[in-house]
């Protein structure tokens, strides 16, 4: 067993999808927290549509990461996307913030876009979202940064057009779902990993099919991954 959603390489584009009963917030938060701990000199940019600053900060502080300090020192740029009224003014002003923040950054930076479904729901056209993600991806490739894009799948097993278009941009698709058999106390959900068209050589990270998906359990402040049927074992 080599895969957990937190062990993917840097400098890639991840499309992270989830469903209502199995939100993937924990993957975003934990990526951010490990990034702060492991890449002290790098830059982090959070483009948050649905979650306020307070929640990001509260979760990080449980892991002894002080995001206010990060923000004050300039290592973190937090963008409250809805305050830009993107349904009125488009996504260009937000892209400009990212562009400016990445200008002087070191490699290994991290950009989190949370989430594209909410952008669509507040009325930003899908085509504009796609163009925005393409532009973010180009910046990330140029600066060797990692981009995490989160998208909610509303209808189980019926990928929407925006999802299919975003998948074309991705190195990996991290697919978070509830258990087919329903929620259980020991297992919160499962995660499969699909390779995108831009995946690195298949030897570096192997795909994990739905039938072999890694299971996880969320606790108050952490997530625990284990192989199917092995909810006592911990990776």
Ligand X SMILES: *[C@@H]1O[C@H](CO)[C@@H](O)[C@H](O)[C@H]1NC(C)=O
Q: Coil, helix or strand for 93?
A: helix
What gap in Å lies between CA 227 and CA 215, rounded to an integer? 6
Residue 72 vs 204, nearer CB to ligand X: 72
Minimum distance from CB of 135 to ligand X (Å)? 33
Minimum distance from CB of 31 to ligand X (Å)? 21
E strand spans, 100-235: 110-114, 146-152, 172-177, 189-195, 214-218, 223-226
- The answer to whether the beta carbons of residues 24 and 176 sit under 8 Å apart is yes
Minimum distance from CB of 44 to ligand X (Å)? 16
Minimum distance from CB of 61 to ligand X (Å)? 5
- The answer to whether the beta carbons of residues 90 and 128 sit under 8 Å apart is yes
Q: Coil, helix or strand for 22?
A: strand
Residue 76 vs 176, nearer CB to ligand X: 76
Residue 66 vs 209, nearer CB to ligand X: 66
Of residues 55, 37, 38, the one with CA closest to residue 46: 55
Nearest-CB residue for ligand X: 66
Give the β-pairing of 172-177 and 76-80: unpaired
Minimum distance from CB of 209 to ligand X (Å)? 42
Minimum distance from CB of 221 to ligand X (Å)? 14
User: CA angle at residue 151 from 59 to 207, to 5 degrees?
Assistant: 95
**Interface with ligand X (CB under 6 A):** 61, 66, 68-69, 72
Minimum distance from CB of 46 to ligand X (Å)? 17
CA quadruple 218, 222, 224, 225: dihedral sign: positive
Residue 53 vs 95, nearer CB to ligand X: 53
Residue 56 vs 84, nearer CB to ligand X: 56
Residue 34 vs 57, nearer CB to ligand X: 57
Residue 52 vs 159, nearer CB to ligand X: 52
Of residues 92, 98, 116, the one with CA closest to residue 16: 116
Phi, psi of 134 (to 5 degrees): -60, -40
- The answer to whether the beta carbons of residues 49 and 114 sit under 8 Å apart is yes
């Amino acid at each position: 067993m080599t895969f957990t959603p937190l062990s993917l390489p840097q400098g890639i584009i991840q499309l992270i999808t989830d469903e209502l009963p199995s939100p993937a917030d924990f993957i975003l938060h934990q990526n951010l927290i490990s990034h702060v701990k492991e890449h002290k000199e790098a830059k982090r940019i959070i483009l948050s549509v649905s979650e306020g600053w307070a929640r990001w900060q509260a979760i990080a502080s449980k892991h002894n990461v002080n995001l206010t300090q990060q923000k004050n020192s300039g290592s973190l740029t937090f963008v409250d996307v809805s305050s830009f009224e993107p349904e009125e003014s488009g996504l260009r002003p937000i892209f400009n913030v990212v562009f400016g923040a990445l200008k002087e950054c070191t490699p290994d930076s991290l950009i989190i876009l949370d989430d594209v479904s909410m952008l669509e729901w507040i009325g930003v056209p899908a085509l504009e979202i796609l163009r925005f993600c393409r532009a973010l991806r180009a910046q990330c490739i140029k600066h060797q940064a990692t981009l995490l894009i989160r998208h909610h799948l509303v209808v189980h097993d019926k990928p929407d057009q925006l999802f299919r278009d975003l998948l074309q941009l991705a190195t990996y698709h991290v697919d978070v779902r509830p258990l087919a058999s329903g929620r259980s106390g020991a297992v919160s959900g499962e995660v499969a990993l699909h390779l995108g068209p831009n995946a690195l050589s298949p030897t570096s990270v192997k795909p994990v099919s739905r039938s072999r998906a890694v299971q996880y359990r969320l606790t108050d402040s952490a997530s625990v991954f284990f192989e199917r049927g092995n909810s006592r074992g911990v990776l």
